[in-house]
Structure 1
């Protein structure tokens, strides 16, 4: 049976940014308008492809009855050949990446693309690495794409130069190089024991391992997990993250909002495939570590949010709160909690990305060190406040720019804190209600998870309200920032998508529930992937008409 032509779209999220990014290396940096136009066309094409794939996995056709399809590269059948797998989870992550890529690139075109060389090539290679990591069906190519996105991120972290970025890069680059080394060690152990790196094949092999082999397999999985927990930012492996995200330029920090989700995605995928309900003696291996580590990360992130004196660092700690919540949700082993976590993953990623872009505009009108000065005045007071009150203004007009930025900041606050009725509240409510409605008595650990999620939302609300009052309540010494439409539109689009997820909460939640249910059927995933035939392969008893040798 010949593969439908539309399914060749699965390779485009990898090939398109790779080809365009390499092509732009042929032109020097003076051709910025050409590179800008080509990059924008590329990310918009990626967005169209991601939307198409998202619709495809949600609407099975006559040729493809399942909600996933497999693309064998080189037309070699799995597990021997390389495969790309497009299921509901991969399609969701591709769509998130394309949305963030379009928004952040549009924002960067206002000024940040001029701050350093090869910005567009690095940006497209980052998109290629992210898309490949979400699409690949084997661990070896996951490592390849992981290295590509990391190599691109090294250049993007340093984009714009400056002491703060160099200092952050000196932490970020070595830590990720160590994580890459752990990745290789873990993959080597797993391959040595199982003889395969195909994820679907691993889910089939793990339940059949002998006890001696199982120990080595679990050791390899633990080492591999540490590599991705570094990327996900689980405490105590997260010390590099707030500093790096705070130092990066606004569009890069906004794009990095999904970088931590690569670690979350891989952990969710491998944990449920290899250590889920069908894993035999290895069932729920590492689940408690994810659960308690996730809760520790929530606590650490919440404290960091309250202690942050700058808005950028607050955003970095908000990323940790998001990662901790997702890791703890995965550790529960409850499909209903996972569905709420997927909803939370989407809305928190969009909101954090919008927040980083917004901070750039808000702080544009502030003097250097204004955040620290404001905190100092809050503690020790301002001696000029004792001047006679006759010169004090009664009522101050709020300029339109500040009103728009303030409205966007309030929306980000409500989303990240999980205030009703926005999508952040719906996601947290779905997770917490699933935890509370588990069969049997609710143990102390689950009560702790509920308390931490609520407390982290309160901490975020307090910290962001404090920052909003300091920066947006129109201090007289601050200038009104100059904001271009090309900078405001991406922020508005990201917040609009969060609002759409709120209005379309029912269909969105049903999609997440179906995604979570499929993740808990590793045998179905393995059957779909390993049962894939090369294009042109004939049914049993009939001669082949072509295809792989």
Structure 2
């Protein structure tokens, strides 16, 4: 079984989705919920087992059908991909648990769609072939289209339509890029492409550059990098909060793809195409951070605020990818895990707060008091400290690390002031949101009715368990900052080890 461990994080969600689609459960929602939670837990435990195996034995290469690279399809489980697979499985488990409190009844097929989404995300993280990266992109996107419509209304439909159209265009560009690259390189296995790109001559160099930059457009769209970020705020803010929390990992797929392609294929050993996208990534990343900061200041509700925080985190991660050093990549890995957990927690908090404030919902304005101010207030405080980057939580560690990693970078003189200014904007906006929601109450006759209604929306035990798991991520990442930082440095070192990556993948992990 251990030799198939690298394939299980892809296989298990697929089987879970198929099982939950069958008529075996009929209309028994309880059995569907229990089965979904159990299968999500198994996927998470298997992902952790794979992470521990990779840490103990090194990179695992799984050749499907025993066709080795570069001729066959391979999955590559290394420290970076297994960390992200484990993070995805954890987020899937949390969202399934949270939705089991009632959100899964607002539409059809919620549970199988979540598992199919996890299948696509895990496959994108594990694939060693850029064509199968496209395939897994399409799997996760198809599932995301349906999840966006779960329990939706007209606003939801409009935002989903924009999301679908943009991603269909992105998929077409992706295919064109793959065709161009295959035409000049004769392969789409990432390790084999990395070997051959440095040998290109003449017009083939320019064609490969066109293909590589088209890929950057695709990854920028998937990751919500400016100017291709406009779909994200409305899409995430109008989706059900539990769906938006699950989508917190989806933008990271685009960032991860940039890390792989522009470090391995177009990195130090790419000859004339070495670091060809670095300048583009730098300036687009800083523009994204700036735009995200403006969006944070302008946000009028908690979900829109959190969506703009996702945009800031994407810009920050891409800036670190653009530095192209081991230290910057290790900071990006730590910050990626932190930002995913804290933004997912904020989406769930926005939902719980909105349920207890009546018609005011999660708008950042004076309204009825929440029914459980101490519980939700403490959770919001922890999440706020983490997302702002104040000590002693993981956000502070990530912020210091990324500032140190960019100290000697090419555009530090622009990045540092911009990032610190946007951090101040986040502090002011989050502080304003928290004080308004928890301290500014309406004095009106309808307040008692709203409070009575809010009492009926008290936090369900499943929702509380899911929220605490995410909220606990910030203090736990601080307590275990030592081993986590060592893991991140090891994963980044292996990401930048060109010769080792090529040899391990093309030799089948032997």
1:420 aligns with 2:391: yes
Contact persistence 2:356–2:370 (CA under 8 A): no
> Can you list the C-alpha shifts for 1:272-317, whole angstroms capped at 9, x where unaligned?
0011111111111110110110010000000100000011110110
> Can you list the C-alpha shifts for 1:85-136, whole angstroms capped at 9, x where unaligned?
0001101110110110111110000011000011111111001101111111
Measured after TM superposition, the shift of residue 369 of structure 1 is 4.5
Contact persistence 1:10–1:86 (CA under 8 A): yes
Runs of 4+ in 1 over 6 A off after TM superposition: none
Contact persistence 1:242–1:316 (CA under 8 A): yes
1:257 aligns with 2:257: no
| SS of residue matched to 1:71 | strand
1:405 aligns with 2:373: no
1:194 aligns with 2:185: yes
Partner of residue 19 from structure 1, selected from 7, 12, 15: 15
Mapped to 2, the partners of 1:171 and 1:234 lie a distance apart of: 16
1:301 aligns with 2:292: yes
Partner of residue 245 from structure 1, selected from 195, 218, 236: 236
| SS of residue matched to 1:116 | coil
Q: Which runs of 5+ in 2 are unaligned?
A: none
Mapped to 2, the partners of 1:519 and 1:495 lie a distance apart of: 29
| SS of residue matched to 2:406 | helix
Mapped to 2, the partners of 1:264 and 1:258 lie a distance apart of: 10
1:331 aligns with 2:302: no
Q: Per the alignment, do residues 167 and 26 of structure 1 end up closer, same or farther by CA in structure 2, a change over 3 Å counting?
A: same
Contact persistence 1:50–1:94 (CA under 8 A): yes
1:173 aligns with 2:164: yes
Mapped to 1, the partners of 2:62 and 2:479 lie a distance apart of: 34
Partner of residue 489 from structure 2, selected from 513, 518, 523: 513
Contact persistence 1:250–1:360 (CA under 8 A): yes
Match of 2:350 in 1: 359
Mapped to 1, the partners of 2:247 and 2:426 lie a distance apart of: 20
Match of 2:500 in 1: 524
Contact persistence 2:61–2:509 (CA under 8 A): no
Contact persistence 2:125–2:253 (CA under 8 A): yes
1:488 aligns with 2:479: no
| Structure-to-structure mapping, 1:383-402, within 5 angstroms | 401-402=372-373
Match of 1:85 in 2: 76
Partner of residue 163 from structure 1, selected from 154, 159, 162: 154
Mapped to 2, the partners of 1:112 and 1:369 lie a distance apart of: 20
Measured after TM superposition, the shift of residue 180 of structure 1 is 0.7
| Structure-to-structure mapping, 1:54-453, within 5 angstroms | 54-60=51-57, 67-369=58-360, 374=365, 401-436=372-407, 438=408, 445-453=411-419
Mapped to 2, the partners of 1:399 and 1:234 lie a distance apart of: 35
Measured after TM superposition, the shift of residue 17 of structure 1 is 1.4
Mapped to 2, the partners of 1:34 and 1:158 lie a distance apart of: 23
Match of 1:498 in 2: 474
Contact persistence 2:131–2:188 (CA under 8 A): yes
1:39 aligns with 2:10: no
| SS of residue matched to 1:205 | helix
Contact persistence 1:417–1:460 (CA under 8 A): yes
Q: Which runs of 5+ in 1 are unaligned?
A: 61-66, 378-397, 535-549
| SS of residue matched to 1:10 | coil
Aligned residues: 499
Measured after TM superposition, the shift of residue 58 of structure 1 is 1.4
> Can you list the C-alpha shifts for 1:400-422, whole angstroms capped at 9, x where unaligned?
82111011111111111111111
TM-score, L = length of structure 2: 0.95
Larger Rg: 1
Moved more, 293-302 or 335-344: 335-344
> Can you list the C-alpha shifts for 1:476-513, whole angstroms capped at 9, x where unaligned?
53524411111011111112122111011111111111
Contact persistence 2:64–2:72 (CA under 8 A): yes
Mapped to 2, the partners of 1:458 and 1:514 lie a distance apart of: 32
Mapped to 1, the partners of 2:79 and 2:178 lie a distance apart of: 25
Contact persistence 1:29–1:117 (CA under 8 A): no
Q: Per the alignment, do residues 330 and 306 of structure 1 end up closer, same or farther by CA in structure 2, a change over 3 Å counting?
A: same
Measured after TM superposition, the shift of residue 372 of structure 1 is 5.7
